[in-house]
Amino acid sequence: MSKLPIAFIIITLSFASSVQAAQPPAPAGSPNAAAPIPAQMSAPRHLVYEFGYNTKAASQGPSTGTTTVDIEGVAKDGGMKVVATDSWWNSTNPKQSSNCEVYANGNVTCGKPPYNLTGIQATVLPLLGQQFFASLAGSLTSSWNANFEVRASFAPSVNRGFGGQVYTWNGAYSLTGKGTLPEQPPLILVASNGTLKQQGGRFVTVNQKSNVLFDPRIKTPVFVDASYNIVPRQSTNNYTVQLKLVKY
């Protein structure tokens, strides 16, 4: 894995400081002051991410907005029921919500119309799988492979799909923990490199490289910086997505 760019390290350090400052301190003298915050991702939760599409994640500005992920509990087949919605800055109404299930290994299935995921939602939903970052429990510098499927109608561009056609996309990723950020534990830096391959249709391959900050206390990715390259060439061939958790 190549060295992380200095600009990314500066951004993540700055973001980690804001996350730590925003979290309530443990009561003085509490024996659990340094203990992980208990969290069950399958319990109802309301996650809000600021995003940037081909720009940095921000609260306002062109090509920015918020993505909300409402975790509504567990389906009969064990999947975690989620509703994801993008709201673009300066737009009147949010995009139509995606109703999907996220499984422990990162599988994502969207079983209700319009069956559509945006590129922004597809960046974060697999990472919410309860076991996706489980290897970090053994070592903060673990390396592991993540293989999962995304079944939905979506294209790598943000605002269009393949005419409503549902496809299965096979994801194969290699991930490496980089340890905690200097002076900012417990956020763990993870580097990811892999592909999403469309099964059928045009057999599109989406190459993805990401840097992720994972908070083991809330078992949630709190910052994602991802770049994409698409083969064969689409109307949008290269793009970036950045996500920053601002509410959970």
For position 1, what pLDDT does the model report? Answer: 36
73 within some domain: yes
Report strand pairing: 205-215 vs 188-199: antiparallel
22 within some domain: no
**pLDDT of residue 195 exceeding 70:** yes
135 within some domain: yes
**Domain limits for position 202:** 41-247
Query: Which tokens belong to 120?
Result: 């922004």
**pLDDT of residue 248 exceeding 70:** yes
Domains identified in the chain, total number? 1
If you average pLDDT over every residue of the chain, what do you get?
A: 84
34 within some domain: no
Sign of the Cα pseudo-torsion (66, 71, 72, 78, in order) = positive
